[in-house]
Chains A and B, each alone.
Chain A
Amino acid sequence: NAGVTQTPKFQVLKTGQSMTLQCAQDMNHEYMSWYRQDPGMGLRLIHYSVGAGITDQGEVPNGYNVSRSTTEDFPLRLLSAAPSQTSVYFCASSFTRSGSGEGQETQYFGPGTRLLVL
């Protein structure tokens, strides 16, 4: 199993550009999430999904969109990039008991995407 994969590894954008960060997992996990990590700020939840077709907002959702058309993929879209979105983005997945949320604490993280917005 490849686990959780993310592309690209690095990206430089200009203010106002849009892009999609890709995330895929091959463990048949129901729960997937996106975090951003800034110096001194820890990991902050952007969006998450408890299964295909279901998404919800996390702590810092503004400026980002997600969709979950399949169990495997959970792309994160930046609609109009801003310098404040410069960060390291991590995608994660976990098995959960359906509907309860239990199990999501055991998360498998991807290698991350480093994004710089100029």
Chain B
Amino acid sequence: GENVEQHPSTLSVQEGDSAVIKCTYSDSASNYFPWYKQELGKRPQLIIDIRSNVGEKKDQRIAVTLNKTAKHFSLHITETQPEDSAVYFCPLRDGATNKLIFGTGTLLAVQP
């Protein structure tokens, strides 16, 4: 089945710096790659996604890049702000069972 690996598990940056979180997948048939953000005490919410026929997608300060050959996709946050502090998830669908697996996520802390 699909296995979600996120790196790093925790990330601390200074306000204004960039942050990059990487997600590795194993199923070559995967074709949709979302990123979710969960602020403390709140529900997870989709912030950006990318399909396998696109290499990069941007939305203001966040972007997602996809490397199909290496089977990984990354979330890029530029000019980080304290409100970017959250846990970020890259859920993947197990093609055999159709289960959506979230994993443990990455805790991003932006220090003011």
A-contacting residues, B85-108, CB 8 Å: 89, 91-93, 95, 97-105
Judged by a CB distance under 8 angstroms, whether A48 is at the interface is: yes
**Distance, CA A105 to CA B3, complexed state (A):** 15
CB pair B98–A104 under 8 Å, yes or no, is yes
Contacts of B99 in A (CB 8 A): 45, 48, 56, 58-59
A-contacting residues, B7-63, CB 8 Å: 32, 34, 36, 42-46, 49
Residue of B whose beta carbon sits closest to that of A102:
B32
Tell which of A33, A40, A90 touches B100, judged by Cβ atoms closer than 8 Å: A33
Q: State the interface size on chain A (CB cutoff 8 A).
A: 24
Tell which of A40, A41, A105, A111 touches B49, judged by Cβ atoms closer than 8 Å: A105
Residue of B whose beta carbon sits closest to that of A57:
B99
CB pair A104–B89 under 8 Å, yes or no, is no
CB pair A109–B102 under 8 Å, yes or no, is no
- 24 interchain pairs, CB-CB under 8 A: A40-B104, A42-B89, A42-B102, A43-B44, A43-B89, A43-B102, A43-B103, A43-B105, A45-B101, A48-B99, A50-B98, A58-B99, A59-B99, A101-B93, A102-B32, A104-B93, A104-B100, A105-B92, A105-B100, A106-B49, A107-B36, A107-B46, A109-B44, A112-B43
Using CB atoms and an 8 Å cutoff, list the residues of chain B in contact with chain A.
Answer: 32, 34, 36, 42-46, 49, 89, 91-93, 95, 97-105
